[in-house]
A and B are shown apart, each in its own frame.
Chain A
């Protein structure tokens, strides 16, 4: 038996283990393997291979099983009651990239929409691809306001890593020279349509708010390095969430995992639910991880010198909380009691819409997988932008478009006149959607629920996360300021909206193992290294000490690449 164990251990020991294969895990895999580390990537879900496992990527509308690719109402009730709450993401074209809610239960002490994809690539296949940098306005905010804990890094620490990641993944965008939204390494920007161009010039002239094209992780002028990975330029199909047959948007599957595989140093093991980090009590270091394989229905162990946990914010918290020992009775590296706390997201679903008459002779061709963007203009540190009623700020994602035939499926009328009317584009409409910061609150937390087990017998998560006064006041302004801009642009029928939103629905869960300067009040140091265990690094959304109001994936990737360099350097020096 001892011999068998020794043999298993010898055969299952790596230089590095990466838990998770999404946005952060893919980057950890690429960086660690390129630096020569034999690396095992553990993914809880099934394999999804680039191109091969995108079954709907080129499916024309007439080959869908269901009307308009909608999921049958009964199937939604049975399997997707939470996953369907975005209202747009879950379709026949994409449902194989979402979990079934009945198989992945959790408890909502307060409403929380947990939208997940368990498979190789994770949500990097499904993300909205909007790509923005945090600024020093964001990195200094907690310290200035006495909210949460101070970020242990500043913009200068991460800026070169933003450059590095953007150059590699490919980001289309326009430089604007704004301090609150730093410019990056951009491929050519996508074009605005006529209405958006007029909106931009009028809003900039009258309200002095910048309007720019969205910055998105799509190739518009691929580099040699990107072409060599088998990636090509965006074809403007806007069918991204089915998986891109051109590799034109960034995903782990199309990019980082391909690069990692080419090093010859990558092993990837799907169907591997990491249940615990194994502590070596003699050294105080992590020895490896314990895995439950739901197909083989057995527990397995894998070992490594260094472990990157990139399981996504809430599942990373779950792993840490589930990894108890004499040394860590409240969870791995959780002497601070901050694991599972400070959970945040971005608030969405508030803004305004308008009609834009006068452009009836104008249209567009191609489907741009991107919108326009209005960077944050509140609380920038000057008196003019200061708000008394809330801290921090919000940005807008927006677009103008002409609705197509599906704009009126049920209204009065039938026959040739209706057919002809629906064959023409509808009138121009413009929509502004706020993306607002949610502050980190220590009692916005997730905990383990041992009373509710999943089908493999593992404990589940209990969510208690809510928005507060600051978020409510901001949400009001997200509507008012949007309407103000649509009025300034001269558009008609301006209407604000405030649609239901519960935390989680932004699909930007963050904060559950935050970075900080003090081990007493934070889980990770300024290199994403656990204060209490030097060979464990966490570089997914858990690390975020605050949310800012920009889409966070770029920051996860930059933090991951930065932490990988640090970890490999420390390992070489014998410091891990």
Chain B
């Protein structure tokens, strides 16, 4: 009888078992290094705004936030390799405009103002972005999507903020939510 354990053993022989049997508390260095090594799409000023905005969208709570999950690098890679040119440019311009707004209002770049000031600048943008008639054109809507995907598909996000089980082994149709505690990552 092929048990789950045997099956996993077989899998590890065939495929190297990179996906099974790990636990994550700290950031997985090789994965992050891979993401950071990706192409760049932002100026250093834009990157600083992105770093702050990503953490505002998904802050560290009892689980890691976007920054610790490597989301800024994920977004930068997506801008360089995934997004259509027009969309990527809209996001870059949006990041620059946030810096401009921060400078005008507070005399400092976005990354250097207080969190309350950052939230005050971001909130009207968020409402406009969520309610705009042409969603793909609004940079903050596209950015929020990338940050959210980047976070929940990151190893810290998938394994700590939600529940990740690469090889469940069985399907149980009726389980109390309290036994699982959070949503599934995939």
Contacts and interface: CB of A to CB of B under 8 A. Distances in A.
A196 B31 CA distance: 39
Contacts of B2: 222, 227, 232-233
Interface stretch (A133-141, A178-186, A401-409): A401-409
A367 B176 contact: no
Given A70-B82, A197-B174, A232-B10, A237 B168 contact: yes
B18 A412 contact: no
A63 B28 CA distance: 12
Contacts of A236: 168-171
A72 B57 contact: no
A409 B144 contact: yes
Interface residues of B, number: 69
B183 A191 contact: no
Interface in B123-182: 126-127, 129-131, 135, 141, 144-146, 148-150, 152-155, 158, 161-162, 165-180, 182
B103 interface: no
B42 interface: no
A10 interface: no
Interface residues of A, number: 62
A58 interface: yes
Interface in A127-174: none
Contact of B169 (A366, A405, A414, A423): A366
A365 B150 contact: no
Contact of B149 (A58, A67, A411, A419): A67
A414 B186 contact: no
Given A416-B61, A424-B183, A245 B174 contact: no
Nearest to A71: B82
Contacts of A58: 11, 15, 17-20, 166
A336 interface: no
A60 B180 CA distance: 20
A197 B173 contact: yes
A61 interface: yes
B126 A412 contact: yes
Interface in B32-53: 34
A62 B154 contact: yes
Contacts of A362: 174-177
A559 interface: no
Interface string A57-85: 11111111111101011100000000000
Nearest to A412: B130
A246 B7 contact: yes
A404 B184 contact: yes
Contacts of B83: 72-73
Nearest to A193: B173
A425 interface: yes
Contacts of B152: 405-406, 422
A416 B153 CA distance: 18
A410 B166 CA distance: 27
Given A58-B19, A61-B153, A236-B168, A194 B186 contact: no
Contacts of A237: 166-168
Among B57, B84, B182, the one with the most A-chain Cβ atoms within 10 Å of its Cβ is B182
A235 interface: yes
A425 B154 CA distance: 18
Given A62-B153, A67-B149, A425-B177, A235 B169 contact: yes
Given A227-B2, A409-B145, A361 B56 contact: no
B14 interface: yes
B58 A419 contact: yes
A57 B15 contact: yes
A51 B174 contact: no
Contacts of A423: 63, 161-162, 182-183
A232 B82 CA distance: 37
Given A245-B15, A367-B168, A368-B173, 8 more contacts: A60-B158, A65-B81, A67-B74, A237-B166, A237-B167, A405-B148, A409-B144, A419-B59
Interface of A: 51, 57-68, 70, 72-74, 190-194, 196-197, 222, 227, 232-233, 235-237, 245-246, 360-368, 402, 404-406, 409-416, 418-420, 422-426
- 4 residue pairs, one from A and one from B, having the closest CB atoms: A366-B171, A366-B168, A193-B173, A412-B130
30 contacts: A57-B15, A58-B18, A58-B20, A61-B186, A65-B81, A67-B74, A73-B83, A191-B173, A192-B173, A197-B174, A233-B4, A235-B168, A236-B171, A245-B15, A362-B174, A363-B176, A366-B170, A367-B168, A404-B185, A404-B186, A410-B130, A410-B135, A410-B141, A413-B126, A416-B61, A419-B161, A420-B61, A422-B183, A423-B162, A424-B183
